[in-house]
Amino acid sequence: MKTVKVYGPGCKRCETTEAMVKDAAAKLGVAVEVEKITDAKSIAMAGVISTPGISVDGKLVHAGGLPDAAKLEGWLRA
Amino acid sequence: MTVETHDPALHRGAPDWLWYVGTPAVGVVLYLLYGQLIPISEWVTALFPVARDSHTGEAIAFFVYDVPKVLLLLTGIVFVTGVLRSWFSPEKTRAILAGKREIWGYPLAALLGVLTPFCSCSSVPLFIGFVSAGIPLSVTFSFLIAGPMVGPVGLGLLYGLVGWQIATIYLVFGFTIATVAGFVLGRMGLERYLQDWVRELNAGPVGDLPEERLTLVDRLKIGAEQVREIVGKVWIWVLIGIGIGAAIHGYVPEEMMLRIMGGEAWWSVPAAVVVGVPMYTNAAGVIPIVEALLGKGAALGTTLAFMMSVIALSLPEMIILKQVLTLRLIAIFIAVVSAGILATGFLFNAIL
Say what the pTM is: 0.84
| Closest-approach residue (CA) in chain A for B218 | A68
Q: ipTM above 0.90?
A: no
* Across B192-220, average pLDDT: 74
What DSSP string runs through B176-200?
HHHHHHHHHHHHT-GGGGB-HHHHH
Task: Evaluate if residue B155 carries a pLDDT over 70.
Answer: yes
Domain encompassing residue A34: 2-77
Q: What is the mean pLDDT of chain B?
A: 86
Residue contact A40–B124, C-beta within 8 A: yes
Mark the ranges of chain A whose per-residue pLDDT is less than 70. Answer: none
* Across B331-338, average pLDDT: 91
What DSSP string runs through B16-53?
HHHHHHHHHHHHHHHHHHHHTHHHHHHHHHHTSSS-TT
Residue A67 belongs to domain with CATH number? 3.40.30.10
- Interface test with chain A among B4, B122, B140, B198, by most A beta carbons within 10 Å: B122
| Domains held by chain A: number | 1
Contacting residues of B for A20, CB less than 8 Å apart: 5, 7
Task: Evaluate if residue B280 carries a pLDDT over 80.
Answer: no
Q: Does A46 touch chain B (CB under 8 A)?
A: yes
pLDDT at B205: 57
